[in-house]
Chains A and B, each alone.
Chain A
Amino acid sequence: MSDIIFCKGGGCTAKLGAGVLGKILEKLPSGDDPDLLVGFGSSDDGAVYRINNRQALISTLDFFPPMVEDPYLFGAIAAANAMSDVYAMGGEVKTALNIVCFPETMDMNILGKILQGGSDKVREAGGVMAGGHSINDEDIKYGLSVTGIVDPEKIYRNNGCRSGDALILTKKLGVGIIMTADRIRQASQDAVKKAIDSMKFLNKYAADILKDYEVHGCTDVTGFGFLGHLCEMLDKRHSAVVESRSIPYFQECRGYAEEFYITAAAQKNRNYVGNQVSFENNDFFMEEILFDPQTSGGLLVSVCISEADEIVEKMKEKNIPAEIVGYVEKRQDKSIIVK
C-alpha cells in the first residue's frame, strides 16, 4: 500500500473524540420503540432490538483506516474489532456485511486480501459473510456491519456494574502506542507482531468463558482507551479503583511512550475523561498507556468478586492474558482512582 495512507492514524486512533460526538448525539432524538432495548441512551456498543421474548437482534458496525501494512491482517483486525461489540453485549455473531472505501486506481488484489482477512475472521467467529457496500475513495477504510443475536434476558449492559464487583480486562493495553511507534519506523518487529496477534484475536473466546458466570457489566476497550471506556461503564453512578500494577500491557510500549510516540487520540481521551480520574501514583507513562486508544482491544468485564479469580484462571488456560485490574466502589468525587 502507498505511504500516503500511513501518514494518518489508523485503527481506532482515527475515531472522533468522544467529547465532540457526545454533544451532537445528545441533541438528536433517540428511538422510543419499547422493543429497542439498547440504543443511544446509554453509552452501549451496539443497538439491541427485541424480536420476541427469547431473541433480540444486536446491530453494530465499525470501520477504520489501516493501521498495519499487510492487507490480509488489516482485514482480519478490522473484522475482529467490528464483531467485538456483539461479544461485549453477550451475543453471538450471525451475519456480517463488508464496508469498503478503496481507491479505484489501486491494485485490486490488495482489496482482495483485505476482504479475505475479514471473511476468514467472520468464519472463525461462526458467522456468515452476507454482502457489503463499496465506495471509491482517496484512502482505504474497511470494516463490517454485524448482526448478532442475544437472549434479551442475558444482555450484558455497558453500565450494569455493582459496588464490590471486580473488573477484568482480557487483553493487554498499548497497541495504539506500538502502532504509532511503528508508523514512524521505531517499533521492534517483535512488538508489532505481538500487537497484531492481540488485535486480530477474537473476543469470542473470552465471551465464551463468561457465559458460565453472572456478568454485571461489559464493554470492549477501543478508541476511547481503558479509562474512557471504564468511565462510560461507571456511568457516574459508581467509582472504580484501578490497580496500575495489575494492568496488563505490552512491555515495549512503556519505552515508546517514554520516547513520546503518543497519539492525538490519547490526548483527546485525556481531555475527555481526565478530570474524572485521580492518579495517585504519579506515573506519567502509565497514564499514557491507560489513555491509549485500542484497536480491537479486550473486554472489560464487571463481575462478582467471588467469581473473578476463577474466570481469570479459566481465561489464562485459553491463553487469554486476562487480569483483575480493579474494583467497583460506591460513588466518590472522581469516577476512577488509579493507584
Chain B
Amino acid sequence: MKHVVDARGLICPLPVVNTKNEIENMEEGESVDVLVDNEIAVQNLSKFANVRGYGFSHEKTDDVNYQVTITVSAGNNMNLQKDLSKDIVCDMSPHNNDVVVISAETMGQGEKELGKALMKAFVFALTKQDSLPETVILYNSGAFLSCEESDSLEDLLFMEGQGTEILTCGTCLNFYGMTDKLAVGNVTNMYDIVRIISGASKVIRP
C-alpha cells in the first residue's frame, strides 16, 4: 500500500507529526512519501528519520516543493511506542556489514592540506549515508582522526553513537605517542583488524 502525507501549506511541527502518525499504521519495510513546500520541513523530517533510525531520501520536485521518502527499516518500528529517552540505543540508523578502513590522515596523493580536507569531508559524508558502516578501522596516521583535536572527531562520535564500532590500531597510537589522546571508540590489534577485514561483506577505503 502506498503511503502519502501531503504536508504542503502546513507549518512545523505538523509535517513531522502527520508523518509520525502515518508511520504508526505502517509495517516494516514500507515507505511513506511526504510532500512539503519548504526546506526547513525537509530538514526537520530528516532529523526525525535520523533519530528513529529510518531510511531517508528527498528530492526537489519543483521550485518550492519537495518529496521526502521515509522508509521504516526492519526491526525499528517495534520501538515506535517506546519512550525514546530510555530506548535511544535501540533506535539506531540502519547498518550494513561494510568496514571502512582509514590508513592515513589524508585522502589521496598530493598536498597534505588538501588531503586532510578531503579526509574530513569523507568521514562527514559517511555519516550522511542512508546506512552506516558496521566498523571503522583507523591505522597508521589514520589514528590521528580518532584522537583529540581531530576535525573528524564529531563525525566519528556521531557514528559511534549510532552503533558503528570505531577501532584504532594500538601499535599506531603508541608509535605516535597518542595513546592517552584517543577520544572515540576502542583500541584494536592486528589480529582483530585481519579478522574484521576478512569477514566484511565490503571494505571501503577513502
**A-to-B contact residues, CB < 8 Å:** 7-9, 180, 184, 254-255, 258-264, 267-268, 270-271, 278-280, 282, 284-285
**Residues A282 and B11 in contact in the complex (CB < 8 Å), given A258-B85, A267-B43:** no
Q: How far is the CA of A264 from the CA of B17 in the complex (A)?
A: 13
Nearest residue in B to A263 (C-beta to C-beta)?
A: B12
Contact present for A282 and B157 (CB under 8 Å): yes
Contact present for B85 and A285 (CB under 8 Å): yes
**Residues A254 and B85 in contact in the complex (CB < 8 Å), given A260-B20, A284-B51:** yes
Residues in B with CB closer than 8 Å to A285 are 84-85
The 7 closest A-B pairs by CB, nearest first: A264-B12, A282-B161, A264-B40, A260-B16, A258-B84, A267-B40, A261-B13
Majority DSSP secondary structure for residues of A touching B: mixed
Q: Does B14 have its Cβ within 8 Å of any Cβ on chain A?
A: yes
**Residues A261 and B40 in contact in the complex (CB < 8 Å), given A280-B157, A282-B158:** no
Residues in A with CB closer than 8 Å to B85 are 254-255, 258, 285
Q: How far is the CA of A254 from the CA of B14 in the complex (A)?
A: 18
Nearest residue in A to B158 (C-beta to C-beta)?
A: A282
Q: How far is the CA of A278 from the CA of B148 in the complex (A)?
A: 13
Count contacts on B: residues with CB < 8 A to the other chain: 22
Residues in B with CB closer than 8 Å to A267 are 12, 40, 43-44, 47
**Residues A264 and B38 in contact in the complex (CB < 8 Å), given A184-B14, A271-B43, A282-B161:** yes
Contact present for A7 and B12 (CB under 8 Å): no
Majority DSSP secondary structure for residues of B touching A: helix
Residues in A with CB closer than 8 Å to B17 are 184, 259-261
Question: Whole-angstrom distance from the CB of A251 to the nearest CB of chain B?
Answer: 11
Nearest residue in B to A9 (C-beta to C-beta)?
A: B11
Nearest residue in A to B52 (C-beta to C-beta)?
A: A260
Q: List 26 A-B contacts (CB under 8 A).
A: A7-B11, A8-B11, A184-B17, A254-B85, A258-B83, A258-B84, A258-B85, A259-B20, A260-B17, A260-B47, A261-B13, A261-B17, A262-B12, A262-B16, A262-B44, A262-B47, A263-B13, A264-B12, A270-B43, A271-B40, A271-B43, A278-B154, A279-B154, A282-B157, A284-B47, A284-B51
Nearest residue in A to B48 (C-beta to C-beta)?
A: A260
Q: How far is the CA of A69 from the CA of B145 in the complex (A)?
A: 52
Q: How far is the CA of A255 from the CA of B83 in the complex (A)?
A: 8
**B-to-A contact residues, CB < 8 Å:** 11-14, 16-17, 20, 38, 40-41, 43-44, 47-48, 51, 83-85, 154, 157-158, 161
Residues in A with CB closer than 8 Å to B41 are 264
Residues in B with CB closer than 8 Å to A260 are 13, 16-17, 20, 44, 47-48
Nearest residue in A to B46 (C-beta to C-beta)?
A: A267
Contact present for B13 and A184 (CB under 8 Å): yes
Question: Whole-angstrom distance from the CB of A107 to the nearest CB of chain B?
Answer: 25
Residues in B with CB closer than 8 Å to A7 are 11
Contact present for A264 and B44 (CB under 8 Å): yes
Nearest residue in B to A262 (C-beta to C-beta)?
A: B13
Residues in B with CB closer than 8 Å to A259 are 17, 20
Known: A262-B12, A264-B44. 10 other contacts (CB 8 A): A8-B11, A180-B12, A184-B17, A258-B83, A258-B84, A261-B13, A262-B16, A264-B40, A268-B40, A271-B40
Question: Whole-angstrom distance from the CB of A229 to the nearest CB of chain B?
Answer: 20
Nearest residue in A to B20 (C-beta to C-beta)?
A: A260
Question: Whole-angstrom distance from the CB of B23 to the nearest CB of chain A?
Answer: 11
Most chain B beta-carbon contacts within 10 A, residue among A255, A262, A285: A262
Q: How far is the CA of A260 from the CA of B15 in the complex (A)?
A: 10
Nearest residue in B to A17 (C-beta to C-beta)?
A: B40
Nearest residue in A to B10 (C-beta to C-beta)?
A: A7
Most chain A beta-carbon contacts within 10 A, residue among B12, B85, B154: B12
Q: How far is the CA of A7 from the CA of B85 in the complex (A)?
A: 29
Q: How far is the CA of A208 from the CA of B83 in the complex (A)?
A: 42
Q: How far is the CA of A66 from the CA of B24 in the complex (A)?
A: 32
Residues in B with CB closer than 8 Å to A8 are 11
Nearest residue in A to B38 (C-beta to C-beta)?
A: A264
Nearest residue in A to B16 (C-beta to C-beta)?
A: A260
Question: Whole-angstrom distance from the CB of B11 to the nearest CB of chain A?
Answer: 6
Nearest residue in B to A288 (C-beta to C-beta)?
A: B47
Question: Whole-angstrom distance from the CB of B176 to the nearest CB of chain A?
Answer: 21
Residues in A with CB closer than 8 Å to B43 are 267, 270-271
